[in-house]
Chains A and B, each alone.
Chain A
Amino acid sequence: MAVWVKLAKMMDHRVYLDHAATTPLDERVLEAMLPHLKERGGNPSSLHASGAAAREAIEAAREAVAAFLGASPGEIFFTSGGTEADNLALFGMARAAETSGKRHVVVSAVEHAAVRESARRLEESGWEVSWIGVDEHGLVDPAELSAALRPDTALAAVMWANNEIGTVQPVEELADICAEREILFHADAVQSAGRVPIDVARTPVSTLAISGHKLYGPQGIGALYVRDGVALDPTLLGGGQERGLRSGTENVAGIVGLGMACQLASESLEGRVRHESRLRDRIISGVTELPGVSLNGHPEMRLSNSVHLSVDGVEAEGLVLFLDALGFEVGSGSACASASAGHKASPVLLAMGQDEREAFSAVRITVGKDNTEQEIEAFLEAFSTAVNQLRELSPLTTT
């Protein structure tokens, strides 16, 4: 093993640049959660003191989440995460709307699998689904959404920001179009929460999903915002928790953690965005100095923390593992990321018009609030080393 690789390992300083996958737990979030894991252990449904304390903690967290989104606490429902929130929104609204005879939904082609697969399930059970495409930047055209809406359209779903390429959709405009036509609109805001100001008072979404572990909170907790007056059928049945919409004993510590994460995000959103954007732009300018490295997604309308690249002549898997060996953790831009599943090109990149080989050459670098400029400079050096070495290895590269 080369000396400098050994050094990188010995230094034991790993640089985490995969915040779109998950974010590290904020120390203050952990502090807020600990008492609920260690000392108090009440069930919020219990009448005794411990139960009441748990109930109180949950409601405080609900207020924090509501404040973060510009909602009222009664509009916040806790779930096990972003996936459950997305599922609940689609199936919940669809089932509630079925009585009106509307059986058509409109979904973008670049949704997270939680929405995409829910829409597919609706399609299988007799619903009609219109999939609307994106341009080469991954952007949904509001006119296309408008044209896809029909009198029997029950709901539309477009994610706020894409988890792979980081493109931020014109959600306000899209939600307005649906609101005018009195069509329900769901926004998956898992990636955008904490990186884009969200105010449901300004943006007329019907439902909106967020996840704890994408904004420095714990894994296994999320929330669905449901606008007052929007009808949803529950997908989980049981003890009737969360006002009957989401049965199951509440994840008290997780909810408290999410509440704290939202509170911190509300307080420091502007500063985080400024910091992340600076690091992001430094990465973009650094990596695109290399030939054959290009930025995917929208050049301006993109998340403050997201850099998504196509690297000619290199397969993402090797690049990700190479960087990992040097101590830098990034995501591979396509689903072929998972070592076990074999090759599968990202539907998002394919929807943007890339071919399979381009899609396999995609890596995703997502910075976080705690990354430093020194880390980014070190990363750029490692990235250039890795790309050059892998290209030297590639029979597709002409030297």
Chain B
Amino acid sequence: MPDTYRPEVIDHLVRPRNVGEISDASGIGESGDAACGDIARFSVRLEDNALTDVRYKVYGCAACIAAGSALSELVCGKSLLDAARVSKEDVRDALGGSLPVGKEHALTLVLDALHKAFEDHWNLVAGDMLVEGYGGSEKNDGKTVVAAMSGGVDSAVTALLLKERGYDVATVTFRLHDGEKGSRSCCSPDTVLFARDTAHRMGLPHFTLNLKDLFQKRVMRDFVGSYEKGRTPNPCVACNAHVKFHAAAFLADGLGFHHVATGHYARVADGPSLARPRDAAKDQTYVLWPIPRELLARTVFPLGDYEKPEVRRIAEDRGLAVAYTPESQDICFIPDGNYRKFVRKKVAAEPGEVVDTAGKVLGGHAGVVDFTVGQRRGIGVSAPTPLYVTEVRPKSNQVVVGKKQDLAVREVLVRDLNHFLAPDEACSVQVRYNGSPVPCEVEETADGAWIAHLSEPVMGVAPGQSAVFYSADGERVAAGGVVARNGA
């Protein structure tokens, strides 16, 4: 790397292009690095998904000024898709090659500001659309797809496979929550940058969507509220039900694209219906059941036909830097995994009684939010045989405990169903993330709920968890819903 600036940098410094701000911009983005004090701001005007005007401002070193100028020149007049494809390397090339040591961050900074302007544009277009539940617009045709990109190996290979199959691919990363700094949670700002780099290395356009409000309303609030109500939530299910697929479809519609894709391990069968993937160990149908049918109809899961080791091998073969990233966590917004602490911070918990199934008081507890059905640890009551939480009663602030056999359930009431097949095609049901399907008979109630009569008792069925019904061959999801109540 050179110690001094190249003539191209000095030229952009002295004669910067596209300086200024657009008063009625389609989107404005600002990125700043607190550590060095540099700030870049981009404003863009978009007409029919083309950048008809780009303006930028920079406070910072010569590298930032020149990088902003060069980037504005690279994207102005381009289609939004081509603009979102412009990479750090492209800007570096426009500046005549590598920047002096310690100045390369300028490329990241200006690119991030431009992408935040795009993000701002999409959020302005979206308004409350996503919060209200986005069903998608009229289908477009064509081999076009928006692929969700978390920065991990699965989503990167997803985008790559689609590209290799001849799709026009646009990638998108969602900002879901303010992840803690330095966390390995998949949604921290670092992972946004990493996902963008990964997409750009594949020559793909990348977008970000800010879904923090939506995620807060539809996932995190529900997560905390469930514990208050004595229910066991599944935030991944809530995210798939209300956030991810809707947002991807929204972007696809905005770009005039047809399909949406994620790196989930599942398949879309005729109907459309949800079907199990080739890699049974990675099967994610249990958390994907709430995808609305009209969105599933346009969804592609390329990894459904691959085993995980193959996916890693593809990433290695194609030289993707993501090949060795660790598996993402269970709950992305709780990076340390301590969800009790997380819930405790959000809700006030009152002490109450621990009672047995007959109602006899055995001891006290510090709050019902600390308990879920099936739990054995932390009950705080000594007994000759191990005690399990069999019920949580938030109204009376009681935690009911019993023996292991008290957890056994033969009947499960399931509401909020998302149907893919007729009720009589549902032959088994899975009621826990790490459980396996149990044969059952389905009885439909007058109000549309399903009662699953289980062929054998199942332990620890917790209200709030998902119940997913499978077809006779066990390969297709017949329907999914939420456990409302369980009975002996």
Binding site for B on A (CB under 8 A): 1-2, 5, 313-315, 317-318, 321-322, 324-326, 339-343, 356-357, 360, 389-390, 392-396
Contacts and interface: CB of A to CB of B under 8 A. Distances in A.
Given A1-B15, A5-B14, A339 B37 contact: no
Given A1-B15, A356-B37, A321 B5 contact: yes
Nearest to B4: A339
A393 B14 contact: no
Interface in B27-74: 30, 36-41, 57-62, 65
24 contacts: A5-B14, A5-B15, A314-B59, A315-B37, A315-B60, A317-B62, A318-B13, A318-B65, A321-B5, A322-B62, A325-B13, A339-B3, A339-B100, A340-B3, A340-B101, A342-B102, A356-B37, A389-B16, A393-B16, A393-B57, A393-B58, A394-B59, A395-B57, A395-B59
Contacts of B14: 1-2, 5, 322, 325-326, 389
A357 B57 CA distance: 17
B102 A394 contact: no
B15 A2 contact: yes
A313 B36 contact: no
A157 to B, nearest CB: 32
Contacts of A356: 37
A324 B13 CA distance: 11
B5 A395 contact: no
Nearest to A321: B62
A315 B11 contact: no
B10 interface: yes
B59 A321 contact: no
Contacts of B13: 318, 321-322, 325
B19 A393 contact: yes
Interface string B4-24: 110000110111100110000
A177 B100 CA distance: 48
Contact of B10 (A321, A341, A343, A395): A321
A339 B11 contact: no
B221 interface: no
Interface residues of B, number: 29
A390 B66 CA distance: 12
Contact of B58 (A317, A342, A394): A394
B103 interface: yes
Nearest to A343: B36
Contacts of A322: 13-14, 62
Contact of B59 (A339, A342, A396): A396
B72 to A, nearest CB: 11
A395 B30 CA distance: 9
Given A341-B102, A394-B57, 19 more contacts: A5-B15, A313-B59, A315-B37, A315-B38, A317-B62, A318-B60, A321-B5, A322-B13, A324-B10, A325-B10, A339-B4, A343-B61, A389-B14, A390-B65, A393-B58, A394-B59, A395-B40, A395-B41, A395-B59
Contact of A396 (B4, B36, B39): B39
A339 B19 contact: no
A343 B106 CA distance: 13
A360 B3 contact: no
Nearest to A326: B14
Contacts of B59: 313-315, 393-396
Interface in B52-99: 57-62, 65
Nearest to B10: A325
B435 to A, nearest CB: 54
Contacts of B57: 393-395
Nearest to A320: B62
A314 B20 CA distance: 15
Contacts of B61: 315, 317-318, 343
A395 B58 contact: yes
Nearest to A345: B37
A80 B445 CA distance: 97
A324 B9 CA distance: 13
B113 to A, nearest CB: 9
A2 B14 CA distance: 9
A340 B102 contact: yes
B14 to A, nearest CB: 5
Contacts of B65: 318, 390, 393
Contacts of A313: 59
A325 B61 CA distance: 15
A390 B68 CA distance: 13
Contacts of A357: 37
A147 to B, nearest CB: 36
B3 A1 contact: no
Q: Which among B13, B41, B58 has the greatest number of chain A C-beta atoms within 10 A?
A: B13
A343 B37 contact: yes
A2 B15 CA distance: 7
Contacts of B15: 1-2, 5
Nearest to B57: A395
A343 B41 CA distance: 21
A332 to B, nearest CB: 10
A322 B237 CA distance: 55
Contacts of A1: 11, 14-15
A23 to B, nearest CB: 22
Given A360-B37, A395-B41, A339 B58 contact: no
Contacts of B38: 315
B104 to A, nearest CB: 11
B275 to A, nearest CB: 51
